[in-house]
Amino acid sequence: MKNTARLILRELAILASALLALGTVVPSAAQAQEKLKVGIVHIGSIHDAGYNQAHAEGVQIMKKNLPNVEVIQVENVPEGADAERVMENMIKQGAKLIIPASFGFMDPALRVAKKYPEVKFVHPGGYKLAPNMGTYWASTPEAFYLMGIAAGKTTKTNKAGYVVALPISFFLANVNAFQLGARSVNPRFETRVVFMGTFLDAPKEAIAANAILDMGADVLGVIVDSPIAVVQAAEKRGAYSIGYHYLGVQKFAPKGWISGIAFTWGELYTRFAKQVMDGTWKSEALFGNLSSDYLTISPFGPAVSADAVRMVNDTKREFIAARKHVFAGPLKDNKGAERVKAGEVFPLQGIGKMDWLVEGVIGQPK
Amino acid sequence: MNEMLFISMLSGAILSGTPLLYATLSELIGERAGIINLGLEGVMLIGAVVGFVTTVQFGNPVPGLIAAALAGALFNMIFAFIVISRRANQLASGLALMFCGVGLSALIGAPFIGRRIEGLSQVRIPLASDLPFWGRAFFQYDILVLLAIPTAVAVWWLLFKTRWGLSVRAVGENPTAAYAAGRNPHLVQYQALLISGFLGGVAGAHLSLALAHTWAEWMTAGRGFFSVALVIFAKWHPLRAIAGALLFGGAISLQLQMQARGVPVSSFLLDMLPYGLSLAVLILWSRARRSAVPGSLGRVFQGTE
């Protein structure tokens, strides 16, 4: 008798738990049709006012645009096996779209992508694709050319400086484009470039910035992960500054701000998420330009004249209409050798091979 | 123009040398008491982050500086407890402290990355700062730069002119003998590491509050380890540390100056300059080193029961 009672009780308990489980499973299964989990892996801090914050802000805008999207965000992930572990963890939590937001996450992401063919990956700035991994970035030399125009029209000493992480081809091309843009409006303009050997050493960047300013420069640009140290050093000494990566750098230099090149990933990330949700996502290599909504010229500072702004906007239209090219010959490097013949154009797709600095840039490309 | 060049080089050397000098003095006091601290990098990071965070909270760098020094001292006391009271291996404990400092500082600093601070501003010294040439070269700096050499002199005075300094050096040479002479080696070592942590925190604060005006993870970028080498360069003497810090600060800033000037040498090669210089110094000094190194450096004093 006792046994039967126990048996019934057990059956009841099983039934109850099954019902409970059903109750929780059924609605969530319905939700899962619309809900999408997006995982984003950052190499550094999302408050760096630079590369990482630009990605993080993009994800926030995506979340605002698509209330059904949930975001898993991990900061300060080292490149290599750790990144793979973080991505797999996100997939186990249900992520169906992964953004490994650093160039160095390319190979780790590719390995994880192979293991999980049902999960989509979008990787910024890389060159390797997989059926479920696409890549996206924007070509920046045209934007740097525009910054050069603004700087060339604003400078009083005709001298600028760039604090750059490493002498790699993409950065050399950006500095070259900046110098060419400035020369187009100011024939006496010169740009000094100082390489840091690292993406993050703020005290060293500040000392380099001061060394450039001591040489008489009054415009400072920066290509490292976080522009804060350099932009603040310029502001402190009354020089002008040009930002990179993140839209909100201006607050560190309200007086000397010229403008900046910013990545505004929000709408692109929204498109990615939508495509993954409705099943139209395709693996592709997106390479945007000034006409894309994810490469933005930051608002101009008070020091920039209306004339300069008009020139920048005119040239921007020329670039978008492909009536103008950044690296149009004849171009000499800063050692006097001819690099692009008259009438020829160094294509923007080929800047990965650029290993020289253009005439008027003071610095060593290797 | 030549004047400008000289001033630029000198101010670059002084600015990059100042955190090195504080860090070197920090390490030097500890080593004089027989304790080698490879965790200095971590102590500096704690100083840098606590200084920055406190400055953000108060909107004023002075509490930040004080907090940085205290936090450095407190953090160094962890190391002191491990190597003095628990008698652990100093090299291993130091490295562990370093990594602990890297992680802890990143944790404390994470919510504050990207915040704006005023930082330490230039101190105006009446008359001296306004001198046409020398003023710009020597007297237009923040308070920590101006106090750096006086601090080195104070450390020298402490170590070589006071009874306490004598016991520190005695403990560093031979703790058993110091014990026999009525000193308490453990207490002296604790005191030395407290001052050492204080100076290490100040070194970190100079990086975040005066140089960069920002906090970034691992912003010391090896300067702590560099200072351990500088102690050897200085032959464990605080006044020689001034020359060492200036020389190596000069080497760091010189390569940036050379790039800004467009000197036709590869930036990769220039980047090696300070490290090449430290290797050269270690080779040159290696002969005479024996006489200067504290006799019991790195050894654990087991007590004399």
Question: In this predicted model, what pLDDT tens digit does every residue of A281-324 receive, in sequence order?
Answer: 999 999 999 999 999 999 999 999 999 999 999 999 999 999 99
Q: Which of A204, A224, A231, A236 to mutate to test the interface with B (most CBs of B within 10 A)?
A: A204
Which pLDDT value is given to residue A13?
Answer: 52
Which pLDDT value is given to residue A288?
Answer: 92
Q: Which of B18, B45, B55, B211 to mutate to test the interface with A (most CBs of A within 10 A)?
A: B211
Tell me if B259 and A364 make a contact (CB, 8 A cut-off). Answer: yes
Provide the sign of the torsion angle of the four alpha carbons A165, B102, B45, B80, taken in this order. Answer: negative
Tell me the two tokens of residue A199.
Answer: 């993406």
Neighboring chain A residues of B259 at a CB cutoff of 8 Å: 192-195, 208, 211, 363-364
According to DSSP H, which parts of chain A are helical? 2-32, 51-65, 81-92, 106-115, 141-154, 169-185, 202-214, 228-236, 266-278, 306-320
Neighboring chain B residues of A212 at a CB cutoff of 8 Å: 260
**C-alpha angle A134-A136-A141 in degrees, rounded to nearest 5:** 155
Which pLDDT value is given to residue B124?
Answer: 78
For A334, the closest chain B residue by CA position comes to B262
Tell me the two tokens of residue A191.
Answer: 């740009």
Calculate the CA dihedral of residues B69, B75, B80, B85 and round it to 10 degrees: 140
What is the arithmetic mean of pLDDT over B153-170? Answer: 96
**Distances from the Cα of A8 to the Cα of A17, A20, A21, A69, A157, angstroms:** 14, 18, 20, 44, 92
A19 band by pLDDT with thresholds 50, 70 and 90: very low
Q: How far is A353 from chain B (nearest CA, A)?
A: 19
Measured between CB atoms, which of B110, B219, B271 is closest to A197?
A: B271
- Other CB atoms within 10 A of residue A311 CB: 19
Neighboring chain B residues of A202 at a CB cutoff of 8 Å: 207, 211-212, 214, 216, 219
Q: Does the domain formed by A35-138 have CATH 3.30.300.130?
A: no
For A227, the closest chain B residue by CA position comes to B114
Rounded CA gap, A13 and A313, in Å?
A: 72
**Radius of gyration (C-alpha) of chain B in whole angstroms:** 19
Which pLDDT value is given to residue B128?
Answer: 75
* Domain-wise residue ranges, chain A: 35-138, 141-262+296-362
Amino acid letter for position A224? V
Measured between CB atoms, which of A48, A49, A215 is closest to B261?
A: A215
Which pLDDT value is given to residue A284?
Answer: 92
H or E segment to which residue A242 belongs: strand A240-245
ipTM value > 0.90: no
Measured between CB atoms, which of B19, B253, B266 is closest to A366?
A: B266
Neighboring chain A residues of B145 at a CB cutoff of 8 Å: none
What is the arithmetic mean of pLDDT over B229-239? Answer: 91
At residue B220, φ and ψ (nearest 5 deg) are -70, -25
H or E segment to which residue A288 belongs: strand A285-288
Which pLDDT value is given to residue A108?
Answer: 96
What is the arithmetic mean of pLDDT over B221-248? Answer: 92
Rounded CA gap, A294 and A310, in Å?
A: 22
SS3 content of chain B, % helix, strand, coil (to 5): 75, 0, 25
Domains A35-138 and A141-262+296-362 share a fold: yes
What is the arithmetic mean of pLDDT over A144-153? Answer: 97
pLDDT tens, position by position, B46-61: 999 999 999 999 999 9
Rounded to a whole number, what is the largest CA-CA distance in chain B? Answer: 68
Cis? peptide before A78, omega within 30° of 0 = no
Task: Give percent above pLDDT 90 in chain A.
Answer: 78
| More confident of the two residues A284 and B300 | A284
Which has the closest alpha carbon to B211: A222, A166, A256, A210?
A210
Residues 27-66 of A with CB under 8 A from B: 44-45, 47-49, 53
Tell me the two tokens of residue B162.
Answer: 């006071």
Name A42's Cβ contacts closer than 8 Å, sequence gap at least 6. A52, A55, A56, A73, A74, A75, A76, A77, A101, A102
Rounded CA gap, A58 and A242, in Å?
A: 21
Tell me if A202 and B214 make a contact (CB, 8 A cut-off). Answer: yes
Rounded CA gap, B150 and B146, in Å?
A: 8
**C-alpha angle B284-B290-B293 in degrees, rounded to nearest 5:** 105
pLDDT tens, position by position, A187-196: 999 999 999 9
Q: How far is B174 from chain A (nearest CA, A)?
A: 39
Tell me if B219 and A203 make a contact (CB, 8 A cut-off). Answer: yes
Flag whether pLDDT at B87 surpasses 50.
yes
Share the mean pLDDT of chain A: 90
A21 band by pLDDT with thresholds 50, 70 and 90: very low
Tell me if A203 and B207 make a contact (CB, 8 A cut-off). Answer: yes
Q: Distance from CA of residue A350 to its chain's centroid?
A: 19
pLDDT tens, position by position, A336-355: 999 999 999 999 888 888 99
**Domains along chain B with CATH numbers:** 2-292 (1.10.3470)
What CATH number was assigned to the domain covering residues A141-262+296-362? 3.40.50.2300
pTM: 0.86
What is the arithmetic mean of pLDDT over A64-75? Answer: 94
For A167, the closest chain B residue by CA position comes to B267
